[in-house]
A and B are shown apart, each in its own frame.
Chain A
């Protein structure tokens, strides 16, 4: 019996015991901490001490309900765990008195419950059956918000390190074949079949090979990888170890952006613990397999998420993409064969090895297997992290998971794939989410950021926002990206201030086409996507800006005119006081007037008017 098996039974026993005690668990992912989780933790500790309660206090990572942070879970032995949202220090006493002392859950603050032996509490939605999680699967995110990410015992007790244990008893090629069978495709956005990539690296000549994990998540609105790293760091390590064993590497590097300090801290801790227990390092579990992992913190360049720029950065060079081929599988880090996958891809591996490729392939669509983690942001009711089976529609995510558009407004578009992706309109809400459908619609899977926009969003402005991002983050190496994205941005800026000319649309299209077809790396080739998709689906908005000099969403200030409706204005003078530019004048009790020459179009007057007398058009 191996050391791990010996350890495992003891660890599982105490984990079960721990779960069966009265517990309070605070969500301390970056989102929880930002919302005030640490203060909530302090309040809980002091409240428990004051009351002299016999209760365990622990912390976990983000369960996905970012909209409800700070999140606190309370459970009594044998009873359902109840997850409360919006818990601030001043509501701690109420929760503890209710749930722990009076043993009655505080239903109005409860978000969801996770049932155990006893029947569920009434009036609280049950996870996996209702609400936010009804249409979700929890595979790669299964430990998020459920275990203590800084405890290797929690990881082992929930099946952790069983995959590497299984892998080292397998033939290397059998592991590669299992990954192939799973149908797993690169979760960083490219969607290259993971098993095929592993096969390339396995077959590549050379005794020194590397495993590199891309944790340089940089898309605006994307935080899947951060959540996985903060919530289940050992799964990423284990996935890398399995890959290392399969392809014959003894060294792994995680390239993690420095803006993720908590992820780096938890990874370092996980590495330390795994080494202590002999699960990482030399002669892992007596197999003769050696594997070490170190972390390289990035310096904040978006382009370093591109695999070859990332490799350059690890080598101490400027983060600029290399020409491919040769691909990293043949000539990667230090010109050695390198298996480079993203965080979510590696985190999926232990589940695939433990449960088998067929289990994974049973989820999803024909060409996009398994599940995918998405980040839901923008104008929606429930922002957060979700894991869904491939093939779910965008509409299901919007309505069933994200809870629909904020404030009952009309949905306009969803940006999928970050700055490299595209904006999809209402009629694409029934589009099944998989790699190929998204590309055919002009967007892409990307890393998994979904930004939802409502009717008040100006699509030209959206394109401008993303182009501003890509042109700032262009590495400057190739002409089409460096100079071209700048020109795209300038034209969009021009259109947004009403200085656009009809030929601008042709120029945008021509330039976008050339950049897409001739730029060196994926960042450049996909940079025009926001322009191309908004032109494809929202051309009328461009034309309104250029020809009518109007912004249909009422967002582009330079294209707006504010007028006071004479029949509604009572001459109260509130707008005169609200105007910072002294552009409004008028006698008391007589209709006021806005001087268009002085108006700076800040809109400050509109919400102040109680009579809806100021029109914005």
Chain B
């Protein structure tokens, strides 16, 4: 692959042709902040926090959307760059609630991190800030549009990753807002609550309803597991606090699904602590279900199957399993039917 060599902060770095200045700068070890950039999504070059100086350019350059070219000389921390980044942060904070103390996202918020790094205080301009109502109409997602910095990652994830395009920018100028069609509540939209928007939001604008106010970000222990809902095998992180599963966050390192998940996996694990959950087998005795041991239950099933097989033959028994079970589960099921029961009567729900 052809490479180009450029200079970043006086250091030479070679990168494959087509690499952005941002990626080249990162490779050279430079700190360049980003808000709207995401490696899996298209690049709008919108937030402008990643600006750098490129020798010969008329203006500062958004590094996330500029290709590195041979001989380019890039400076990532000149006074002009730092002034621009600080001003952009001041502008974002001026239109942002000053509630980091109680914000669920605190500790895992890019805006907070960069404000800390650049020592930017809120209220630099003392201007008008948005006063939108909190949107908690959706069963799983809470939207606080006052915290939205309009990076647009949510709407790009919705369109580009999920193919849904439920949300987009509406209105103009300072009134620009991410909304559903006609600015209707999320619950009344065609949103399927996959939560991709929540997973990608860099601030506290989009949060998981079930986890709100339950634990600070740094108190949560993340336990990697596989989703029990179907056979796809999605991986995610259980968010555990004081022995309880609060919810789930996706993990970009998941080989099957990356950050993508469906509504069940992302928001459906609350059954774990449900008191109605069955934890032992039940056997109906005298018209009543009675808790039993696994041994007793399995013995009962085995004896009943044996009885039927003896009386009516192997082909009088059939098994139906789910296409959403794992391959291993389905393999064991058909093996049991063929080798154990002695019939080919196996089927699954998704055949027709």
Chain A positions within 8 Å of B, measured between CB atoms, are: 301, 303, 318, 320, 323, 471-480, 482-487, 490-491, 507, 510-511, 513-514, 516-520, 525
CA distance A478 to B150 in the complex (A): 8
CA distance A472 to B171 in the complex (A): 10
Q: How far is the CB of B125 from chain A (nearest CB, A)?
A: 4
In the complex formed, the residue of A with least CB distance to B83 is A514
Q: Which of B46-54, B218-226, B272-280 contacts A (4 or more CB under 8 A)?
A: B46-54
A-facing residues in B140-186 (Cβ within 8 Å) = 149-150, 152, 168-169, 171-176
In the complex, B28 has a CB within 8 A of chain A: no
CA distance A476 to B46 in the complex (A): 9
Knowing A476-B169, A518-B51, A520-B62, the reply to whether A483 touches B80 (Cβ < 8 A) is no
A-contact 0/1 string along B88-105, CB 8 Å cutoff = 100110110000000000
Q: How far is the CB of A306 from chain B (nearest CB, A)?
A: 13
| Interface of chain A: mostly helix, strand, loop or mixed | helix
Which residues of A are found within 8 Å of B91, using beta-carbon distances?
A: 479-480, 483-484, 487
Knowing A476-B176, A517-B80, A518-B51, the reply to whether A483 touches B95 (Cβ < 8 A) is yes
Q: How far is the CB of A50 from chain B (nearest CB, A)?
A: 54
Partner of A478, one of B43, B48, B125: B48
Q: Are B128 and A475 in contact (CB under 8 A)?
A: no
Q: Are A518 and B44 in contact (CB under 8 A)?
A: no
CA distance A513 to B84 in the complex (A): 9
Which residues of B are found within 8 Å of A511, using beta-carbon distances?
A: 87, 125
Query: Besides the contacts A478-B45, A480-B48, A520-B62, what 14 more A-B pairs have beta carbons closer than 8 Å?
Result: A318-B168, A318-B169, A323-B43, A474-B174, A475-B172, A476-B171, A476-B175, A477-B46, A478-B47, A483-B92, A491-B125, A514-B83, A517-B84, A520-B46
CA distance A301 to B49 in the complex (A): 26
In the complex formed, the residue of B with least CB distance to A511 is B87
In the complex formed, the residue of A with least CB distance to B91 is A483
CA distance A333 to B25 in the complex (A): 32
Q: Are B59 and A518 in contact (CB under 8 A)?
A: yes
Q: Are A517 and B59 in contact (CB under 8 A)?
A: yes
In the complex, B65 has a CB within 8 A of chain A: yes
Which residues of A are found within 8 Å of B169, using beta-carbon distances?
A: 318, 320, 476-477
| Interface of chain B: mostly helix, strand, loop or mixed | loop
A-facing residues in B108-126 (Cβ within 8 Å) = 125
Partner of B173, one of A476, A479, A487, A507: A476
Q: How far is the CB of B90 from chain A (nearest CB, A)?
A: 9
Q: How far is the CB of B150 from chain A (nearest CB, A)?
A: 7
CA distance A507 to B83 in the complex (A): 12
Which residues of B are found within 8 Å of A479, using beta-carbon distances?
A: 46-49, 88, 91-92, 149-150
Q: Provide 12 A-B residue pairs closer than 8 Å at the C-beta atoms, listed in order of the A residue.
A: A473-B173, A475-B173, A476-B150, A478-B45, A479-B150, A480-B87, A483-B174, A486-B128, A490-B125, A517-B51, A518-B48, A518-B51
Q: Are B51 and A478 in contact (CB under 8 A)?
A: no
CA distance A15 to B30 in the complex (A): 72
Knowing A471-B174, A486-B173, the reply to whether A514 touches B87 (Cβ < 8 A) is yes
In the complex, B56 has a CB within 8 A of chain A: no
In the complex formed, the residue of A with least CB distance to B35 is A479
CA distance A473 to B150 in the complex (A): 17
Q: How far is the CB of B48 from chain A (nearest CB, A)?
A: 5
CA distance A320 to B91 in the complex (A): 20
CA distance A516 to B92 in the complex (A): 17
In the complex, B325 has a CB within 8 A of chain A: no
Q: Are A486 and B48 in contact (CB under 8 A)?
A: no
A-facing residues in B7-48 (Cβ within 8 Å) = 43-48
Partner of A323, one of B45, B88, B125, B173: B45
Partner of B88, one of A471, A473, A476, A518: A518
A-contact 0/1 string along B245-264, CB 8 Å cutoff = 00000000000000000000
Q: How far is the CB of B324 from chain A (nearest CB, A)?
A: 37
